[in-house]
Structures are given as structure tokens and as C-alpha cells.
Amino acid sequence: MAIKLYDLAGAEDDHRFSPYCWRVKMALAHKGIAFETLPWRFTEKDRIAASGQGSVPVMEDNDRSLHDSWEIANYLDETYQDGPALFPNEEAKAATLFLKFWTERVLHPLLMRLILTDVHDGLHEKDKDYFRTSREKMLGTSLEAVCEDRETHLETLGKGLAPLRATLDAQPFLGGSSPSFADYIVFGAFQWARCSSATEVLVKDDSVKAWRQRLLEMHDGMAANAKRPAA
Ligand SMILES: N[C@@H](CCC(=O)N[C@@H](CS)C(=O)NCC(=O)O)C(=O)O
């Protein structure tokens, strides 16, 4: 039985933009594991209640239910040892943990300031109130206020990408000569932006943009073919 992945969807079933779910979809494709995705909305907590929490990705592999993108990546490497590794070794995994937290605590907030209102606008009607209320409570301000002054936020993102740019100036992937889960973690953030907003967040033709393009085209263009909002 193919692996099933609950994947956050917007108004349309095939609009998929969750950064954490993109990590896992890229990881499954990397390992050559067949999977099917099930569209899931924020307000459908009952459908993933068996996982004991309320966030996606949730992955079902036969009778096993897993959640959390990091835990899922670890499980995939441990369980499917024939396919290429997501973490080439324990040392690489340890260093990837830093990239995970940099992505979640630095990169996601930088991107959020550019896309949050677009994320909201692309949601299913039944999710919009939940999203606005939960995010505005967390942020202490309105979605619109977070996204004010786009030019400044674009400039701040450009500067914030300096370590990523320097790394990708020196090597084609964060994993070195080929991608690893480190690449998919960071790529998931840019795919979140790309699939949520029609506006480009990578405005310079630099090594980051070229790297994103390589990943978009990988795995038969799985990410390149993902639905985006119309410009
Ligand atoms: N630590 C989790 C985070 C997953 C996460 O935050 N997922 C979001 C979708 S992008 C979610 O399902 N949020 C549920 C909610 O906000 O109610 C992972 O890495 O998988």
C-alpha cells in the first residue's frame, strides 16, 4: 500500500503550499518512494486526530502513523535504506538541525512578511477565520500590518540570505554535490512562498535562485509543476 500524506491544501484541492509538507514530498521523491497525498485543511483536525496532534505533515505507512517533518525524514532513512539517504551520516544530520531551526526561526519570519496576506487569500473559505485569528493572536497584530512596507522586507530578506548565498556560491547544494534533507528544509520555505504568492521573493539572479531552480526541476519537475496563484 502506498504511503499516504496529509498535505495542507488551499481553496482548491490541488493547491499545496505547506513548507513542512514540501520537505516531506521532496524527501519521498528523493528516496524514490511512491506516495499519495490527501488534501487537508487547518480546520479538519478530526481527520488527523489519531496522530495525537493538529499539524501536517501526517504520514501513514501501512499501520504506522507519523507526524513532524523531521521525525518523518528520520523514519524514512531508517526504514527505507535502499534509496538514497536524506542524511548521509550522523554528523551531517547534527549540522542539519541548525539549518532546520534557522529556516523556522529566521527564514520563515522573513518570508512571512512578504506572503502572509497572500497565504490567507488562497485558503479555503472554511479556514480563513481560523488562520487569521490564530496568526494575529500569535503575532500580536493584523496580517495586513505584518506585510506592510514590502520594499523594506524584500531588502531585509536579501540581506538575510547572505549565508545561504555564500554557501551556494561555493557548492551546488547544501548537501554538497547532491541534495540532502538540508536542501529540502530550506527549499520548502521558498516553495511555500512560491505556491502562496504570485509575487517573486527572490529578486536577484544569484546562486540562491539558481539552486531553487535546480530543486524545482528535480524529481520530474514535481515542485515546478505545483499550482501557484495567478498573477
Ligand atoms: N514541526 C512541524 C510543524 C508543522 C506545521 O506547523 N504545520 C502547519 C502547516 S504548514 C500546520 O499544520 N499547522 C496547523 C495549525 O496551525 O493549526 C513539522 O516540522 O512538521
Residue 136 maps to which CATH number?
A: 1.20.1050.10
Residues 111 and 213 in one domain: yes
Q: How far apart are the first and last CA of the chain?
A: 39
From residue 204, how far is each of 111, 158, 161, 165, 198 by CA, in Å?
15, 8, 11, 11, 16
Residue nearest to atom 6 of ligand 1 (CA): 55
122 and 17 both lie in a single domain: no
Q: What is the pLDDT of residue 230?
A: 86
Q: Is residue 226 part of a domain?
A: no
Domain of residue 9, residue span: 3-79
Q: How many CA atoms lie within 13 A of 91 on its CB side?
A: 0
Residue 59 has pLDDT above 90, yes or no: yes
- Res. 170 pLDDT band, cuts 50 70 90: very high
> pLDDT tens digits for 76-119?
999 999 989 999 999 999 999 999 999 999 999 999 999 999 99
- Residue 68 to residues 58, 65, 90, 177: CA-CA distances in angstroms? 7, 11, 19, 27
* The domain boundary residue, chosen from 31, 46, 79: 79
Tell me which of 38, 55, 127 to substitute to probe ligand 1's pocket, judged by most ligand atoms within 8 Å of the beta carbon. 55
Q: Give the span between the Cα atoms of 201 and 140, in whole angstroms.
A: 24
Q: Based on the domain organization, do 65 and 142 belong to the same domain?
A: no
Task: For residue 134, tell me if it sits in a domain.
Answer: yes
Both 38 and 144 in one domain: the answer is no
- Is pLDDT at 58 greater than 90 in this prediction? yes
* pLDDT confidence bin for 226, thresholds 50/70/90: very high
84: closest CA among 218, 226, 222, 227?
A: 218
- Distance (angstroms) between ligand 1 centre and the Cα of 35 equals 20
Domain contains 121: yes
The mean predicted confidence, pLDDT, of the chain is 97
User: Ligand 1: distance of its center to the CA of 77 in Å?
Assistant: 21
Judge if the beta carbon of residue 6 lies within 6 A of ligand 1. Answer: no
Q: Give pLDDT tens digits for 181-221.
A: 999 999 999 999 999 999 999 999 999 999 999 999 999 99
197 and 117 co-located in one domain: yes
As beta bridge partners, residue 36 has 4
List all residues 6 or more positions away from 29 whose beta carbon is below 8 Å from its beta carbon.
218, 219, 222
Over the stretch 18-37, which tens digit does the pLDDT of each residue have? 999 999 999 999 999 999 99
Nearest Cα residue to atom 2 of ligand 1: 68
Q: Is the CB of 188 under 6 A from ligand 1?
A: no
- State the average pLDDT over residues 117-136: 98
Q: What is the Cα 136 distance to its own chain's centre?
A: 21
pLDDT of residue 204: 93
Does any ligand 1 atom lie closer than 6 A to the CB of residue 7? Answer: no
Tell me how many domains the chain contains.
Answer: 2
Query: So what's the pLDDT on residue 231?
Result: 82
Q: With pLDDT > 90 as the criterion, what percentage of the chain qualifies?
A: 98
| Contact between residue 172 and residue 145 where contact means Cβ atoms under 8 Å apart | no
